[in-house]
A and B are shown apart, each in its own frame.
Chain A
Amino acid sequence: AQTVTQSQPEMSVQEAETVTLSCTYDTSESDYYLFWYKQPPSRQMILVIRQEAYKQQNATENRFSVNFQKAAKSFSLKISDSQLGDAAMYFCAYRSGYNTDKLIFGTGTRLQVFP
């Protein structure tokens, strides 16, 4: 069975600084996707960034980038130039590449952003 582990329950960062959220996963599958989702206090889950396992290049979306280490099964999220609006719960998630939308989530990291 696949598992996703987030070992940082809480993180904090100052505005304009950079923060990295950690995530490790375990799977025996070769085809899969990894995601970071953001859940602000309003509760609407939003996709931040995704990574396809077959792609060696790390995904980047504006201020958000990932460090995907496939052999180590590590998938960290780097937020650059942090903004107050980045404050939220961040969930790392795994999805098999085989005909399913099922997401397996980590326990989440609460990110606080201080002015």
Chain B
Amino acid sequence: KAGVTQTPRYLIKTRGQQVTLSCSPISGHRSVSWYQQTPGQGLQFLFEYFSETQRNKGNFPGRFSGRQFSNSRSEMNVSTLELGDSALYLCASSLPTSGGYNEQFFGPGTRLTVL
């Protein structure tokens, strides 16, 4: 079974540009979460989607947005990039069950560098 895939793996942008990152969950998984990882702030939760609906949102400015498609693939968009947006962006997917535990599987991440 293929794991969580993220594209692109590496990205270089300049300040002021916008960027779209993609995450394809494991087949059958309907929940996708996004995290930002930086040396200074560590791992921070961005948002969570389940069945195309945003279920939870972290404390990030409105420049960060996301969506989920009917096939569970998810995209996140960052507009008006700032130097501080340079980070590893991780995506995780899970197969939600009605109550109880469901394991999340992480993708390899997209390394975004803003110059």
- Chain A: residues with CB nearer than 8 A to chain B? 33, 42-47, 50, 52, 91, 99-108
Contact = CB atoms under 8 A, between A and B. Distances in A.
Q: Which of A42, A101, A107 has the largest count of B CB atoms less than 10 A from its CB?
A: A101
B108 A44 contact: yes
Given A43-B88, A101-B33, 5 more contacts: A43-B108, A43-B109, A44-B107, A91-B43, A99-B55
Contacts of A47: 103-104
Contact of B101 (A42, A52, A108): A52
B43 A105 contact: yes
A102 B56 contact: yes
Contacts of A102: 33, 45, 48, 56, 58
A35 to B, nearest CB: 9
Contacts of B45: 102-104
B23 interface: no
A103 B42 contact: no
Interface in B65-115: 88, 90, 92, 94, 96, 101-104, 106-109
A108 B42 contact: yes
Contacts of A44: 106-109
B64 interface: no
B102 A101 contact: yes
A33 B101 contact: yes
Given A100-B48, A108-B42, A45 B55 contact: no
Interface string B10-38: 00000000000000000000010101000
Contacts of A106: 42
